[in-house]
Amino acid sequence: MDYLQLGDSDLQVSRLCLGTWNMAGQEGWGPENDKTSIDLIRRAQDSGCNFFDTAHGYGKGRAEALLGKALAQDDRRERAVIATKVMQCPPPRLEGQLDAALRRLRTDYVDLYLVHWPWPRGDLRAFMDKMSEMKQKEKARQIGVSNFNLQEMEVAAEYGVVCLQAPYNVLWRQIEDDILPFCRENGIAVTSYSSLAQGLLTGRFSRGSEQRAGIRNKNVLFDEPVFTKAREAAAVVDAVADEIGCTSSQAALAWLLQTEGMVAPIVGISKWGQWQDNLGALDVRLSDAEYRRISEAGMQVWEMLPADGSMWGWKPR
């Protein structure tokens, strides 16, 4: 496993981050039971992963509690970098939200505390003041944000955020024009969620006949006519993978890992073999031509989508 500094902080994180959204109990989305999830978390850590992502909103705290239980064994908490997220709320409620998360996570502090979504009707500066207070009280080692636009990032940067978590993959390129350059210029690390586009970039839909089902039906990448074009782009990823001797997932993750400013793609798994496959991406190196080929195929999908849209068709109002 490789490790990088998380922005301008003292945190060293693994280049792959294990996400826990799919471990929050949604039927047909993640591991078959909590015991399997706990085993996957521990095995991932034993393989070198030290970076784990969760949120209050994942199963109303269920994913946080499960992660806390998994890392309560021996010295696992001390070896982990835990990121959790909170929706922007009235500032006086924030500390109580964090205290509840700490209880679920079975820890006295969280390594990285992120604003999950900005609330358009809320006072962002007042909320960021409270986030900074949580760092001063040592309940959070560092603070960050998720799903922020450029103007919101400019405010967040004033408060010393070290990380932006954003939707980003070969097909979804929203942050490329302005947000990603801003983060590079200001020493803010970027971690991607939906790194494999909910499985679209794994070959499951482009190489086979798997059908859209469950929570994926809420993702705009799975709506027609975008879905057909996305499968065509995924087929380009498949072809590059075949040519260089890796899997489709590894090629798609290698593209992310080779994108300047990207520190750690977040990946969710339901089986151990998926994590092993993802680890192989660390050994894949795309040539400049291969990187461009994948980029250009994905951009044809992104150009079909609204630049200010949401991958899940939802934003706080």
Q: Which residues are catalytic?
A: 58
**How distant, in Å, are the alpha carbons of 124, 131, 141 from that of 136?**
18, 9, 8
Phi, psi values for residue 101, rounded to 5°: -65, -40
CA distance 172 to 193: 10
CA distance 278 to 263: 15
Q: Which of 310, 271, 296, 298 is nearest to 31 (CA)?
A: 271
Contact 214, 28 (CB under 8 A): yes
CA distance 14 to 199: 22
